[in-house]
Chain A
Amino acid sequence: MSTPDPQRAADDQQDAARVLAGDTRAFEGIVRRWQSPLINLAYRFCRDRGRAEEMAQEAFLRAFRNLASWRQESVFSTWLFALATNLYCTELRRLPPITLPFDEIREPADPRAIDGGLEQRNQSAAVQKAVQSLPPKYREVLILYYFHEMDVPSTARSLHLPEGTVKAHLFRARNLLRGKLKPLVEHPLIAHRQVRESL
């Protein structure tokens, strides 16, 4: 995701030119190439498959409507991800995702079997819950950073932010996550129960 494929970039440019010339069918090539990344990016924001597809569909529609505004200074995928990210952030601020209740996180069948950590699923749910509870500006940077395979310049381009700001937000996001997740790493079972009881 962080390094654009030259062949894909050329195909995108060709398809975009055809669409702008009036051949709407050429947009299907763009949809087929980018449907999976756009759905996965949306899923990272909302953690809901159905909603992720709806958001990705809206992103494609918006890309189609605004294709003429792609100035070709950057590769098509950079423009598309920036457009989709902007849409997803707006959408998520309007309708925040439903966070997974801790009741749905299963406790280990045998607590004595735990050796230094939670079960994979519980850990994942706890991390996701902690990420969703971050302030939007940190959460968005963190999600984009991992989506772009930990590439700061790509993250900055997608969010239209300076790289320094992205690094500062990442630093702050990590600090906040450390505070939220440290009890789960130190005493996984106790922390898990405490969180369940507090809800």
Chain B
Amino acid sequence: MTHAPTPEPMDDAVDRLVDAHLASASDDLAPSSGFAASVMDSIYAQAIEPPPIAFPWRRVLPGAIAVVCALLALVVFVIRTAKASPGAASSSSAVVQSHLALSFTPSEVTLGWILLAACLSIAAIAASFRLTGRSE
């Protein structure tokens, strides 16, 4: 059976001191005269503000899912290729480059990258205009 330690008399004195100063109502403050009016002004200003524009998750989500899936597919593709021919490709970019080099000439690869970058830029601009509601 355990007993709670008996407080020393000095501890009691400290406790009384703390109780007296923290529990006392001597520091009760009355609000300044214009406080309620000031709060209500802020409330009215808040009430007439248009509600914040919600983030367009429904529009963004399909694109985000597609990007994540594409990235995952790319990672899987790179890992499989690296496993299949470990000596040939030492890094992921080298693996991609080597596969592209097998199918296309260097100028076609360069042109492909440029077209891909241009398409992505146009898609990003179109998406931003669509999200902000501008048609031009």
Contacts and interface: CB of A to CB of B under 8 A. Distances in A.
Interface of A: 24-25, 27-28, 31-32, 35-36, 39-40, 43-44, 49, 52-53, 56-57, 60-61, 64-65, 123-124, 127-128, 131, 142-143, 146, 149-150, 174, 177-178, 181-182, 185-186
Contact of B44 (A24, A57, A181, A186): A24
A56 B31 CA distance: 10
Interface of B: 10-11, 13-15, 17-18, 21-23, 27-32, 35-36, 38-40, 42-44, 46-47
A127 B29 contact: no
A35 B14 CA distance: 32
A128 B40 CA distance: 32
B74 to A, nearest CB: 42
A145 B47 CA distance: 34
B3 to A, nearest CB: 15
Label chain B's interface by main secondary structure.
helix
Contacts of A24: 43-44, 47
Given A24-B43, A28-B40, A35-B31, A127 B10 contact: no
16 contacts: A28-B40, A35-B36, A36-B28, A36-B30, A44-B27, A56-B35, A60-B43, A61-B39, A64-B46, A64-B47, A127-B22, A150-B23, A178-B11, A181-B14, A181-B17, A181-B18
Given A27-B43, A146-B22, A40 B14 contact: no
Contacts of B29: 36, 39-40, 43, 49, 52
B43 A64 contact: yes
Given A27-B40, A35-B31, A39-B35, A185 B14 contact: yes
Given A60-B43, A185-B13, A53 B18 contact: no
Contact of B21 (A35, A39, A128): A128
The 5 A-B pairs at the shortest CB distance, nearest first, are namely A146-B22, A127-B21, A24-B47, A35-B31, A178-B14
A127 B13 contact: no
Contacts of B43: 24, 27, 31, 60-61, 64
Contacts of A177: 14, 18
Contacts of A31: 36, 39-40, 43
B7 to A, nearest CB: 9
Contacts of B10: 182, 185-186
